Amino acid sequence: MPFDLAARLAERRAARLFRQRPLLDSPQGPEVVVDGQPLLAFCSNDYLGLANHPEVIRALRDGAERWGVGGGASHLVIGHSAPHHQLEEALAEFTGRPRALLFSTGYMANLAAVTALVGRGDTVLEDRLNHASLLDAGLLSGARFARYLHNDAASLAGLLAKAGGNTLVVTDGVFSMDGDLAGLPALAGECRKHGAWLMVDDAHGFGTLGAAGGGCVEHFGLGLDEVPVLVGTLGKAFGTAGAFVAGSEELIETLIQFARPYIYTTSQPPAVACATLKSLELLQGEHWRREHLQRLIDRFRSAAAEIGLALMDSPTPIQPILVGDSGRALRLAALLRERGLLVGAIRPPTVPAGTARLRVTLSATHSEAQLERLLEALAESWALLGEERGDG
């Protein structure tokens, strides 16, 4: 029977990989209501706590009253409103680049950048652990596509030596499931040696890394010459929605002319751009958010080590607890939920087989007391998990 969807779904359930959507019945924040249950959440990418900030909400509301709700059309028809333009100029200044270009989602920004820059006869090289949108973009580009070993500049160098045509090297800045940073200086050095361009998707770095929240490139002190193509999303530390690509005048104009995901999509609501302008102002002005977040990260890592949790090498708000087996990861998440905490269990195919994990994410709006509650629940649940397996 063709299209035996029931069998596909049954197979996924049997492998403990079936996904279900939790129903959120409250705004984003540390304390949420999910599926009717009040919970303390450690699974949102709202790293700076701006998604429910009253000033951002007010900017959205005022923007809707001034500019309406829908974008109305693509940017190239009549959908490019003044707030969009103002936000692009502000993001260009924030990233220290000549221009920036808005997109409705990070997935679209990545598809647009890669497919507009390389095609048949060219080469795109990507980190093995890149986000799905980056991998899909490479495959859809029509260019010769290969993946180098995770964060391995020597592996990349070997592939660069065999590359043909225009060559684009693509990496996440912060890897979303591991929380580690790409070794951008070494990658940029290899790109420079071989005449390739480096594209960095810094979705999880913007706002949280760098002295001014400028992300991985600021953290490593890199500029336009080292990273010609810089992508950022607005639905994480910025707390709103959408994404952008920042780079040279020629890069942005090339995307406007040739990037199909940009040309053939209605612009985001202009009120969202108004809200993002306010969140950018807060991100730049309220340094205490990053400082408090760093204290939470440091405390979590030290206490988790004492509990005996297997953490990954992450200096970011993404703090994965490696469990291994998908069933055990689900069980650990369930034990935490019984104690009033919500942490996402991440399983294949999102992560490699045998590396299921709990993905703890911290926010500047988490209090120290809330973090201690998480740590206490983790210690108790981890011990129970070991007893159930017979470790004790």
Residues annotated as catalytic (active site), given as ranges: 176, 204, 236
- Which residues are 232's β-sheet partners? 244
Going by their DSSP bridges, the two strands 31-34 and 37-41 should be labelled as antiparallel
Beta strands in the chain (DSSP E): 31-34, 37-41, 99-103, 123-127, 144-148, 167-172, 197-201, 229-233, 243-247, 318-324, 341-342, 344-346, 356-361
Give per-residue burial for 140-168: e unless 16+ CB within 10 Å, then b: ebebbbbbbebbebebbbebbeebeebbb
Report in angstroms the alpha-carbon separations of 44 from 41, 88, 165.
Answer: 7, 26, 40
Tracing tokens 């969009």 back to the chain, one arrives at 84
Structure-token pair, residue 184: 């951008």
**308: burial class by Cβ within 10 Å (0-12, 13-18, 19+)?**
exposed
What are residue 236's phi and psi, to 5 degrees?
A: -110, -100
Residues 6+ apart with CB under 8 A from 356: 323, 324, 325, 326, 328, 329, 345, 346, 347, 348
How many helices, marked H, and strands, marked E, lie in the chain? 14, 13
Residues 6+ apart with CB under 8 A from 147: 125, 126, 127, 128, 130, 135
- Which residues are 172's β-sheet partners? 201
Task: Indicate if the alpha-carbon torsion angle 33, 34, 37, 43 is positive or negative.
Answer: negative
Peptide bond before residue 349 is cis, with ω within 30 degrees of 0 = yes
For 278-315, the DSSP string reads HHHHHHHH-THHHHHHHHHHHHHHHHHHHHT--B-S--
